[in-house]
Structure 1
Amino acid sequence: PVASSLYGSRFLAGELGGSITHQCFYSTTPANKYERKYWCKIAANGVCYTIISSSSFISSEYQGRVALGDVPQNGTFTVTMTGLRSSDSGTYRCGIGSTNEGLYVSLNLTVLADAMMSRPTQLIQGELHGSVTVLCPSGDTQDDQKRFWCKVGRSICTLIASSDGYVGRRYQGRIVITPQDSSGASKVLINDLKKEDSGLYLCGTKGLRSQDSPQEVVLQVATASTIPRRAKFLSGAVGGSLSFQCHHDPKGTYEKKYVCRWKAGSCPVLLDDQGFVLESYRGRIQMSSSDPEHGSFTVLLRQLREEDAGWYWCGFRSGHTELTTSLRLLIHKG
């Protein structure tokens, strides 16, 4: 049986005489890896006629201008069509299976005299309970732009988080859209990954004057995870103190380790390993010990207040990537 997870763009635009490359992403089950991959076009009679398949078939009218490459270890196969003609416009399927009716994603190809080239889809792979970093395209730094992250469904893209503070219910405490850097780019950080987080997403900006073409992102969450499931909740009493551990890969090298306070999709840093402590937390919070060999450090929070209740993140920065974990603090009165 073929596992039912296959993702890919829903729309493609190509230029007359030019070429398009389309990527299909699938879960790397043994059945999917070795099953036939195909690319077909839907005719007026509703039948999807094969153009090319991994079984060495190429339709005679596409000879010399279509190629299919499969990378089973990554769970991707790529179709390239060159020498585009107006007649190539239409609905296609990329799919897996012995027939063209099995597991597939439909997409529309439009061939134009001069098409805007879209960005290639970004493939992000994460592990169950782990975290991912998605680099989002730079927007107009002059424009007051709202950054968004949404999940592509059959007909709509469901908003999950945006930079104005909206976060969907299932993502409370585990997603952040970072502020734009000097180039206008921002990151989407997600942790406590779940199997159902796998899918096709759009990451982009909406401004008052412009809307940039969003970045398509395929997120694959591997269920065979090496990351242990850790406690998500901690409780303490007003006036008391508590400590928690932040865990990272002991083999990783990180230029910055930090703790931040999550609220409405943003996470201001409270303290880091370079000596920074947020003014309002001075004397109350510290990194009490570090155990690099086992990949952890301990954070101590004293003189607990009711308003300390909420979500906290541990973060480890390595280049563009941030490894993050989240936990929720519950505070009760004495």
Structure 2
Amino acid sequence: MGWNGGFSTSYCSKQNSQPGNARKMALLAFIFLLALLPAGSAKSRHPPKATILSPVFGPRQVYGVVGGSVTVKCFYPPTSVNRHDRKYWCRQSGRRCVTVASTTGYVSSGYEGRISVTDYPEAENFQISISSLSPTDAGTYECGVGDNGRGLSYKVTLSVSQGPDVPEAAELFYVKLHSTWTVTCSFGEEFTYFRKYLCKMEGEGCHDIIDNIEDDVIDADYRGRVLLSLERSPGSFSIMMTQMDWEDAGLYRCGAGEYGKNGKSKELDVFIYEDKNFPLMKSTVTATEGGSATFECLYEPLKKSSTRVWAKWKSDKYTRIIDNTGYVKPQYEGRVAMFENPNNRTVTVILNQLNEADKGYYWCITNELKEQQTSAELKLTEGKPQLTGQKEVEARVGSRVDLTCSYPCAYYSYEKYWCKWSPSGCSMMPASDVRQPGPEATCNTSNRTVILSFDSVTEEDAGWYWCGVKRNGLFGETMAVKLSVTAAGNDAKHSPELLDVDAPSHAEFPNHVEPGPGPRGGAYSDSGVRSGAAPGSSDQGHGSNTLALVLGPIAALLLIVVTAFAVVKYRQMKRSDLVSIGSYRTNISMSDFESVKDYSASNSACVKESQETAIGGDEFVTTTDTPESAAEAKKAKRSSKEDADLAYSTFLLTSGSIAQGGSGGDSPALDVSPPQDQV
């Protein structure tokens, strides 16, 4: 019993706890779903169903007075089928919609003479005009294209009142998907100093999107793509909203003051439809710091008078950076350029040398076809530019200059180019693999470089040059290079090729004379040293002075040694004294007396055949002996023994003379000739 009772209690408590747990789980699930829901904003999370199902758009509510008239405007997509198709106005009756009037000429009974349907295909709308209104005309209607029941229609409510005061109907805006919506709101001079705003209707309230007082009031979903600008007319302002999406459809209010409290407002009804021919532009552009960013803008080439402006967005205004009239904001010179592409009806704007201050939203603005205005956000990411090279180059007039741009393998198949920047654009110089004369871009695919060469640079060549890549006609990354050109000969003394010479000062050398003009092609620094001659000539002059100081004593010493050697040799020659033997003179050295017999033999032979000319002569004259000379020669002839004795005596006398003379000087020559009586 106790066991059963215990079991029953346990079972009952378990049963009772199940509903409580289920409620807890349901509550937790509900809280979880609430957490997943995004924060409230002015944007609806889902586009209106009618926007998707039917592209026909008209007023939600139309107001009229008894006896008065009303006009209903309905829009439709401008396709060829829609332009030629039937337009109609029908009244709902239960599940049916009975045709009241159409463009085929049909008019139902009771409406003859007071209703018409007119098509305006160029304006992409048709209008229904009803006059002589009566209370019975009030009701629900549809304006449509084609046959009734096809779904290409829009429901309109017509209200007819007795009083003269008729509520103002909402202004209609038929806006293409991804295009720009533009509206002007005017409230009169009395509202000049009131707060101006735009809000979107949500239930009974209106969620603020933007105003002209506080930047922080801008809704996050509209930041960077909505602009409020004050007009010249007092109390008037304009609204531009770009990149319109399905979720932007709905009811808005523009006003002066505070909605629901004071001031005045106006209802705006915005409808979004899709045009397959309208291009989708990038809403976000990502680039690296120091690199470049490319923006695409829409324009109509046939509208020659259209002004195209590229500007940076602010909540209450935009800052113009560049336009198609040649204007460039000064701090953007060399950084931004505009390229028109008539083939695809776009304008490409490139901004390079990016930095942190460039982050933000940029707008393409035109004074015609305002729906083509676009906006995009620029974001910077970490990384390095793909195109690299020297960003600043200096050169002198007449010199050769090469501007080099290196690209990675990813750009190997891209079209490369150089262009010279100017406020009106960037003049293209497409790169080629074959070098041609003059400034031209050449591409070296082996080391992936694009080179812009100047054979002889001029001052007119100075400026900004861009290196870039293209693919399929679309512009890609660019790199800007600034070329500075100076006149030849300016500040030659500061050239890195000139040497700094320690020239003597005038104080140290008062008699120093400045050099005159040097040969053509030379240049002189302030010290007077010619620096345009052979490199290092000034250093050599300085070194030659030092070398002379060092080698001077050595050269003097060598000169003394050479002189001494010459003196010794001369003394040796002097010591070989001139000896007279009879009427003959000859130089005799010590070796000549090694063999007395040889000497006497040779001498006797020579005496018979020749006679010496005057002293110092270098000729020997051969003569013929006469009988008288033969007798004298025979008479003066000595024996061999006498000659040997005489030669030996001469040697002894000469040796003695040398010994007496020493090194102090030359001894006089001794006359050892035989006595006259022996000759």
**CA distance 1:114–1:200, shift in 2 (3 Å):** same
* Cα distance in 2, alignment partners of residues 118 and 288 from structure 1: 47
How far has the Cα of 1:23 moved from its partner? Answer: 0.9
CA contact (8 A) 1:125 1:222 kept: no
Deviations 1:95-151 (A, max 9, x none): 23433574432222221221437478455565x65x435232213533533422648
How far has the Cα of 1:301 moved from its partner? Answer: 5.1
* Cα distance in 2, alignment partners of residues 160 and 53 from structure 1: 41
Tell me which amino acid in the other structure corresponds to 2:309.
K
**CA distance 1:183–1:276, shift in 2 (3 Å):** farther
CA contact (8 A) 2:335 2:352 kept: no
**CA distance 1:283–1:143, shift in 2 (3 Å):** closer
CA contact (8 A) 2:86 2:102 kept: yes
* Cα distance in 1, alignment partners of residues 115 and 124 from structure 2: 20
* Cα distance in 2, alignment partners of residues 86 and 321 from structure 1: 41
Partner residue, 1:212: 265
Tell me which amino acid in the other structure corresponds to 2:62.
L
Q: What is the total number of aligned residue pairs between the two structures?
A: 315
The answer as to 2:198 corresponding to 1:148 is yes
How far has the Cα of 1:220 moved from its partner? Answer: 4.8
How far has the Cα of 1:37 moved from its partner? Answer: 2.9
How far has the Cα of 1:7 moved from its partner? Answer: 0.9
- Identity rate of aligned residues, in percent? 21
CA contact (8 A) 1:177 1:188 kept: yes
The answer as to 2:164 corresponding to 1:114 is yes
The answer as to 2:273 corresponding to 1:223 is no
From 377, 380, 383, give the equivalent of 1:328: 377
Tell me which amino acid in the other structure corresponds to 1:190.
M
Give SS of 2:136's match: helix
The answer as to 2:329 corresponding to 1:257 is no
Deviations 1:74-107 (A, max 9, x none): 4322111000112222222222343357443222
Q: Superposition pairs for residues 235-314 of structure 1, below 5 Å?
A: 235-237=287-289, 240-245=290-295, 247=297, 249=299, 250-252=301-303, 253-255=305-307, 257-262=309-314, 265-269=315-319, 271-273=321-323, 277=329, 283=331, 288-291=336-339, 296=347, 298-300=349-351, 302=353, 304-305=355-356, 308-313=358-363
CA contact (8 A) 1:148 1:161 kept: yes
Q: Which has the higher strand share?
A: 1
Q: CA RMSD in A?
A: 4.0
The answer as to 2:280 corresponding to 1:233 is no
CA contact (8 A) 1:254 1:316 kept: no
From 180, 194, 215, give the equivalent of 1:132: 180
* Cα distance in 2, alignment partners of residues 297 and 200 from structure 1: 33
Deviations 1:136-169 (A, max 9, x none): 2213533533422648x9x899969432643363
Normalising to structure 1: TM-score of the pair? 0.73
Partner residue, 1:57: 106
From 104, 122, 136, give the equivalent of 1:87: 136
The answer as to 2:94 corresponding to 1:23 is no
* Cα distance in 1, alignment partners of residues 200 and 109 from structure 2: 40
CA contact (8 A) 1:13 1:110 kept: yes
* Cα distance in 2, alignment partners of residues 156 and 34 from structure 1: 41
Deviations 1:32-62 (A, max 9, x none): 445443322335x565433223343322111
Gaps of 5+ in 2: 1-52, 384-679
Deviations 1:274-326 (A, max 9, x none): 8685xxxx746765444467674645454612x6433222x334279485332
**CA distance 1:322–1:267, shift in 2 (3 Å):** farther
* Cα distance in 1, alignment partners of residues 348 and 140 from structure 2: 53
Tell me which amino acid in the other structure corresponds to 2:236.
A
CA contact (8 A) 1:144 1:207 kept: yes
Q: Superposition pairs for residues 120-199 of structure 1, below 5 Å?
A: 121=171, 126=176, 131-132=179-180, 134-140=182-188, 141-142=191-192, 144-148=194-198, 150=200, 161-163=209-211, 165-167=217-219, 169=221, 171-192=222-243, 196=246
CA contact (8 A) 2:365 2:374 kept: no
From 124, 130, 139, give the equivalent of 1:75: 124
The answer as to 2:11 corresponding to 1:11 is no
* Cα distance in 2, alignment partners of residues 285 and 124 from structure 1: 40
**CA distance 1:100–1:234, shift in 2 (3 Å):** closer
CA contact (8 A) 2:70 2:129 kept: yes
* Cα distance in 1, alignment partners of residues 251 and 56 from structure 2: 13
CA contact (8 A) 1:159 1:168 kept: no
Q: Superposition pairs for residues 90-109 of structure 1, below 5 Å?
A: 90-99=139-148, 102-109=151-158
* Cα distance in 1, alignment partners of residues 56 and 206 from structure 2: 18
**CA distance 1:259–1:330, shift in 2 (3 Å):** same
Gaps of 5+ in 1: none
CA contact (8 A) 1:52 1:67 kept: yes
* Cα distance in 1, alignment partners of residues 269 and 306 from structure 2: 28
* Cα distance in 2, alignment partners of residues 86 and 57 from structure 1: 23
**CA distance 1:272–1:322, shift in 2 (3 Å):** farther
Tell me which amino acid in the other structure corresponds to 2:312.
C
* Cα distance in 1, alignment partners of residues 322 and 359 from structure 2: 20
From 100, 105, 115, give the equivalent of 1:66: 115
The answer as to 2:345 corresponding to 1:318 is no
* Cα distance in 2, alignment partners of residues 25 and 166 from structure 1: 30
CA contact (8 A) 2:250 2:270 kept: yes
CA contact (8 A) 1:149 1:203 kept: yes
How far has the Cα of 1:13 moved from its partner? Answer: 0.8
Deviation larger for 46-55 or 282-291: 282-291
State the structure with more CA Rg.
2
